[in-house]
Structure 1
């Protein structure tokens, strides 16, 4: 029991020291990126939500959605209402792998697959891809997916494909001061010099701390 008490006290002591170190340091204080006050975090969420809507509207003018399905796929039928909602903003191209419509015949312009599914590596249905007029594709999902998640993935996929800029992408995230990212601001030449030889490129903690202090404090 004494050992347990000791461990608990040490844990509490560590938590107190950590709190003292974090307060007032913009590199460590997470509230600098995400406010803890509910009114501030809610406002940040609202701004990010507006930015997402604007970015998706702009994206809809540049790319469309390929919706792969087969007529005997129950999950494909279940996905239809989501695709209908997406169709309010995006041009949705329904592509049937067996050349037939779904039982509910939800689409008026069904296209038979002409090799796109194999080219894109479609393994599961329904499959959803973003498609640009110049023949570029970005995978969104293979399997049924909810609208909100699909919208989030579309933004991520568009960033990976280079259809939106990093600045546009960052505005959709409910986080502030993304430039205060230690993994990006630490000089690569200093990290390379401090790394040990070998496959691991291990950097001794003391060396890494010196680099961090020099970068963040300008010493």
Structure 2
């Protein structure tokens, strides 16, 4: 048999076998088209599958959908400041200044300097009206609160010194001073003459208390007492020597001074301690604190906060009334009117 014939026979056999496979019961001519929806990965093991009862599916109920709220309208851009207002000039000056510094031409410098001139003129107008308002309102007038003119100020300070002198004289009749020292302390030695001068002038009884058991130079040993184990020093919470303590029987104790100081400073501190302890009549207290007249205290501010909680502080007139009443309580003798008087 020739080779060509043999090849033709093999081809026919192969085609017959292929045709038999395609025509077999597992793969009918129309099986591919019928099962193509099962996909490439479908596998049928040939076992029968129990029929599944048809289940009637109810149509899905209609679900109400809430309407989507409309997007908020975009916020309107803030309005620009009014030309030649303080806000407008402040912004404009910053721009003009940077421009003039980056590009220092005559035109750029001229623009900036003219804007600056406008701001200075507005500041001057503000100051002029402010001076007029302060001159007409005694509670805002610093000349009324405490004189600034040389002659008037000198006279006012004389009244202050006189009131302090009277307070010290009255206080010495029912209070005393305790002077704590250490014989090795040079500042204690320097402060001793000051304490003696003060007691000689106002006749304060003084107790000299030694922390090391020895007297200062020029002090008689019998004129002092020794603070054993620093008990009194610690009980008063003193920090160093020399120290001066104001003692008012039966139980009032006030630290007046730590360290050495001049006599007038020591006198001032004694007066302030007596005022803080409310040991001074109101008239002398006001006279001795004349320089502080009209100054709002922390207690005044606390009172103002409580009043402001129920007031309309957005109303300028009501706000001024609240502040004027607070200052008025600190300025006795001044009557609010057209010009006020002392």
Same fold (TM > 0.5): yes
Contact 1:190 1:211 in 2 (8 A): no
Does the alignment pair 1:142 with 2:258? yes
Paired residues in the alignment total: 206
- Counterpart position of 2:172: 60
Q: 3-state DSSP class of the match of 2:223? A: coil
Aligned Cα root-mean-square deviation (Å): 2.8
User: 1:208/1:16 Cα in 2 relative to 1: closer, same or farther (>3 Å)?
Assistant: closer
- Counterpart position of 1:191: 308
- Counterpart position of 2:280: 164
User: Relative contact order (alpha carbons < 8 A, sep ≥ 6): 1 or 2 greater?
Assistant: 1
Does the alignment pair 1:38 with 2:155? no
Which deviates the most, 206-215 or 152-161? Answer: 206-215
Paired with 1:181 and 1:209, the residues of 2 have a C-alpha distance of: 21
Paired with 1:22 and 1:149, the residues of 2 have a C-alpha distance of: 34
Structure 1 segment 21-36 matched on structure 2, within 5 A: 21-36=133-148
- Counterpart position of 2:189: 77
Contact 1:80 1:106 in 2 (8 A): no
Which deviates the most, 38-47 or 136-145? Answer: 38-47
Paired with 2:134 and 2:142, the residues of 1 have a C-alpha distance of: 8
Contact 1:158 1:164 in 2 (8 A): yes
- Counterpart position of 2:245: 129
What's the CA shift string for 1:124-153, capped at 9, x where partnerless?
Answer: 111111011213211111111111111111
Unmatched tracts of structure 1, length 5 or more = 195-203
User: 1:113/1:121 Cα in 2 relative to 1: closer, same or farther (>3 Å)?
Assistant: same
Shift of 1:26: 1.2
Unmatched tracts of structure 2, length 5 or more = 1-111, 326-335, 338-342
User: 1:187/1:100 Cα in 2 relative to 1: closer, same or farther (>3 Å)?
Assistant: same
- Counterpart position of 2:125: 13
Paired with 2:252 and 2:185, the residues of 1 have a C-alpha distance of: 26
Higher CA-based Rg = 2
Q: 3-state DSSP class of the match of 2:136? A: coil
- Counterpart position of 2:205: 91
User: 1:68/1:45 Cα in 2 relative to 1: closer, same or farther (>3 Å)?
Assistant: same
What's the CA shift string for 1:13-63, capped at 9, x where partnerless?
Answer: 332121011111011111112123332222222122111111110001111
Q: 3-state DSSP class of the match of 1:190? A: helix
- Counterpart position of 1:106: 219
Q: 3-state DSSP class of the match of 2:318? A: helix
- Counterpart position of 1:120: 236
Contact 2:139 2:145 in 1 (8 A): no
